[in-house]
């Protein structure tokens, strides 16, 4: 994926803005029931993706090949699936718990791929 670091930062900013707006909506409405979703979007979407971007910028060799792009795509799919599912669960739709688990599983797989890339390239 060309300019993977840039893509990480671009999406990180979008997640940050979404998380901030979500926080503002909760504050104005007084309904903080979606706080876990807000937190996940900020920590996973904003912080994790920004840190991925820093790593990929510092170790550009780690962006070569298909694996880094797969890691990035799987992570973002996982965030979206997990966030939607957790939001639905918090609204009383417990039947989507497997969907939340699937999203979390994708996030774990993506982080394991990222860990592999870090251990492979950060020693250089």
pLDDT in tens, 62-96: 999 999 999 999 999 999 999 999 999 999 999 99
Residue bearing tokens 């990035």: 72
Task: Please write the tens of the pLDDT for every residue from 3-30.
Answer: 999 999 999 999 999 999 999 999 999 9
CA atoms of 117 and 71, how far apart (whole Å):
9
- What are the φ and ψ backbone dihedral angles of 52, each rounded to 5 degrees? -60, -45
Domain span including residue 66: 4-121
**pTM score of the predicted model:** 0.93
Is-contact 62 121, C-beta < 8 A? Answer: yes
CA atoms of 94 and 100, how far apart (whole Å):
10
CA distance to 67, 84, 85, per residue, from 30 (Å):
43, 21, 22
Is-contact 110 74, C-beta < 8 A? Answer: yes
Domain count within the chain: 1
Distance from chain centroid for Cα 68 = 14
């Amino acid at each position: 994926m060309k300019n993977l670091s840039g893509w990480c930062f671009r999406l990180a900013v979008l997640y940050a803005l979404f998380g901030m707006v979500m926080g503002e909506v909760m504050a104005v409405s007084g309904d903080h029931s979606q706080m876990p979703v807000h937190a996940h979007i900020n920590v996973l979407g904003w912080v994790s993706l920004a840190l991925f971007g820093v790593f990929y910028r510092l170790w550009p060799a780690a962006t070569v090949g298909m694996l880094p792009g797969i890691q990035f795509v799987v992570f973002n799919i996982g965030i979206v699936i997990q966030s939607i599912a957790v939001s639905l669960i918090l609204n009383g739709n417990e039947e989507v718990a497997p969907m939340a688990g699937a999203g979390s599983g994708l996030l774990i797989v993506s982080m394991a791929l990222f860990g592999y890339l870090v251990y492979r390239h950060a020693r250089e």
